[in-house]
Structure 1
Amino acid sequence: MAEDKNTKKRTEVEIQAMLAKLRAKGKENQNEIRAAIVEDLKKFKEPPPSVLAPVKHLQKDFFIADIFDTAIKDDMASMEHPLFALKAGDMRVRVYERNGNSVTIKPGSDGCATIHDKDVWIYCTSQLIEAMNRGRDDVSRTVRFTAYNFLVTTNRPVDGDSYKRMGDALARLRGTSIETNIITDGQRERAGFGLIDSWRVIEKTAGGRMVAVEVTLSDWLYRSIKAKQVLTLSPDYFRIRKPADRRMYELARKHCGAQRQWQCTIKTLYEKSGSTANLREFRRTVKTLVESDELPDYKVGMVDDMVTFIRR
């Protein structure tokens, strides 16, 4: 407001100065004076053009995960290779090589991220794929979401312990490092990275419980997501209790694809699973799964050392 008053006062002074100048020259005709003033004031009406063009788009460097009832999506590379531990506190350095692909998984101080920790990875992937399918333009590898929505979507309780376990899972995902040459989006490179690049709490309650978090995915995973190298999982995936059963579901989904069935030896299944048990214990685990007949989407059979997954 003060600036407007100063501008008005300055303009009035300038007008009076011009009037005095014109009268001194003998131009007493009011029309002539008025026309001369209009011409002289034109330079004051338009401000000079700015050096900078106006901002056309607000910068967005994160994606808000706010889509409900999304299809559950998992990336094919982590379904094929045992990146996640089946047992909490696993401190082994694991090396897996198959068909020219190699991956080395190194634990952080809290052990390797587990297949239940992978729920964060799957949740973010599902949200990003759904957003892409809807044509949203704010998708990025940094995802913001509420802890409550994550817990509900992944079929977890919403009590205090669950919020704490979620924080522990994020820490393990950040601490676990991967070295691999697995191709994503047609790009093969020998690279090392964390299962996630970073995470942070955006909002807390008065009691310190996390409300909203921000997770930045690794570029390796994000390339898979952008290329849509993903598969849809059963809506009951998050209901699978045992880590080994979850892993076998992943392998069945990856290798069956659109086929009716997938068959492999118990030894191959054991190697692909990343299990810490010995082969005899793993065989018992498969037999239990066969007898329960509760694996979503697939019926499991085992004859001698051959395991068959048949799409229901």
Structure 2
Amino acid sequence: MEHPLFALKAGDSRVRTYERNGFTVTVKPGHDGCATIHDKDLWIYCVSQMVEARNAGQEVFRVVRFKAYDFLRATNRDTSGRAYIRMGEMLARLTGTRIETNIETAGKRERGFFGLVDSAKVVEHDRRNRMVAVEVTLPYWLYRSVEAMHVLALSRDYFRLRKPLERRIYELARKHCGTQPSWLISLAVLHKKSGSASPLRNFREDVRALVQSGHLPDYLMSYDPARDMVTFYAFGPTGRVAEAKDMLAGRPHAPLVAHEKAHARKAGKRPRSANR
């Protein structure tokens, strides 16, 4: 989640390099373009299957086999014939995108060269020639992360986020906020971590819009224009306490109506109208 391995824009063919805290990641797209953050759903789905098997006391392997239909349903996709074609395109981008990095997992640092997915194949087809079973071989370092349980659960609402930037910001909040009540970050650093290709001024407006919407799963957001800082507050009592402390300290805060919508959605209730 720390490194922006996946493109936020479809058709991105740039070679992208990110450096932070001694770690370097270079992303090199393949012939079909760079894998996108929506393609990452396959990673998330496979890892969830591995974690479920591990928790059940079963042996976990790098090769994950699943039904295409189950993947489409679990990740909030349609199940039309076109969806199966798009899934094939997704597998092509995931196997074609190459990563060069000195990333560390399970206490080991190494310079690695690998694909986001080592290999993938369709095992079966139905009578309409649609893929039924898919077999994916994950990169070894990702498999090692699952073995070491260096994984975080995501909200089911993550798959309902359609805008790539919203997904990426949620990932960063999930990683850095973790079990803390809040997480403060400068907009410039958030911009870099997000992997956004937009100028900082445009990114700032996108973040402002997300703050106003209040619909990021699991978190509330606040933007301080004076310091150009963004704060994420975890849903729940500890997050509300941290939020209240910041309000009492006089720090600029998101409009109340946006926060009411977010809290109401979390509680499964209809928020009050903004006209009230």
* Category of TM-score, reference length = shorter chain: 0.7 to 0.9
For the pair 1:204 / 2:125, whether they are aligned, the reply is yes
Choose which of 295, 303, 307 in structure 1 pairs with 2:216: 295
Distance 1:197 1:180 in 2: 16
How far is 1:208 from its partner? 1.6
Q: Which residue of 1 aligns with 2:198?
A: 277
Question: Match of 1:105, as an amino acid?
Answer: V
For the pair 1:224 / 2:145, whether they are aligned, the reply is yes
Choose which of 115, 124, 132 in structure 1 pairs with 2:37: 115
Distance 2:84 2:182 in 1: 39
Alignment partner of 2:223: what SS?
A: strand
- How do 1:178-189 residues align onto structure 2 when only pairs under 5 Å count? 178-189=99-110
Look at both structures and tell me which one has the larger radius of gyration over its CA atoms. 1
Q: Which residue of 2 aligns with 1:100?
A: 22
For the pair 1:125 / 2:28, whether they are aligned, the reply is no
| Structure with greater contact order relative to length (CA < 8 Å, sep ≥ 6) | 1
How far is 1:297 from its partner? 0.4
Distance 2:39 2:145 in 1: 19
Alignment partner of 1:164: what SS?
A: helix
Identity %: 63
Choose which of 140, 153, 161 in structure 1 pairs with 2:61: 140
For the pair 1:81 / 2:3, whether they are aligned, the reply is yes
Structure 1, unmatched stretches of 5+, are 1-78
Distance 2:190 2:26 in 1: 19
- Deviations, residues 152-177 of structure 1 (Å, cap 9, x unaligned): 10011111111111111111000000
Distance 2:55 2:20 in 1: 33
**TM score, norm. by length of structure 1:** 0.74
Distance 1:165 1:220 in 2: 27
For the pair 1:168 / 2:98, whether they are aligned, the reply is no
Structure 2, unmatched stretches of 5+, are 236-276
For the pair 1:310 / 2:249, whether they are aligned, the reply is no
**TM score, norm. by length of structure 2:** 0.83
Tell me the number of residue pairs that the alignment of Structure 1 and Structure 2 aligns: 233
Alignment partner of 2:166: what SS?
A: helix
Alignment partner of 2:106: what SS?
A: coil
Q: Which residue of 1 aligns with 2:160?
A: 239
Question: Match of 1:208, as an amino acid?
Answer: N
Alignment partner of 1:85: what SS?
A: coil
Q: Which residue of 1 aligns with 2:170?
A: 249
How far is 1:207 from its partner? 2.3
Give me the CA root mean square deviation: 0.7
Alignment partner of 1:208: what SS?
A: coil
Choose which of 75, 79, 97 in structure 2 pairs with 1:158: 79
- Deviations, residues 61-110 of structure 1 (Å, cap 9, x unaligned): xxxxxxxxxxxxxxxxxx11100000001001000010011100000011
How far is 1:187 from its partner? 1.3
